[in-house]
Amino acid sequence: MPEKILLYIIYTEGDTLISRASYHSWRDIQAEYLTYKASLGPWPAGEVIDFLRSEYPSVTDAAEQIRSFLACDLQVATFKLS
């Protein structure tokens, strides 16, 4: 898994997002998402997977979701909690 790519976890009122976009601060993320609540990162993909597995143990495919995201061209994707 490419560890050079840093990812953000972005919480909005309705979604949990994974982003590979580059931000200078959480304020930049807040400006991009009107329903912004919080964000974490940037972290390497392995740390994101570890965090998601820890926070959402019922989501059995956290690693697969991150790998699929890294394999596509999207800058942002929704992390599916169910």
Provide the β-strand partners of residue 8: 19
Band of the pLDDT at 4, cuts 50, 70, 90?
Answer: confident
> Which pLDDT belongs to residue 2?
53
pLDDT tens-digit map of 35-47: 999 999 999 999 9
DSSP 7: E
Alpha-carbon distance of 4 to 8, in angstroms, equals 13
pLDDT tens-digit map of 6-60: 999 999 999 999 999 999 999 999 999 999 999 999 999 999 999 999 999 999 9
- Would the pTM of this model clear 0.85, i.e. be above it? yes
Strands (E), the chain: 6-12, 16-19, 36-44, 76-78
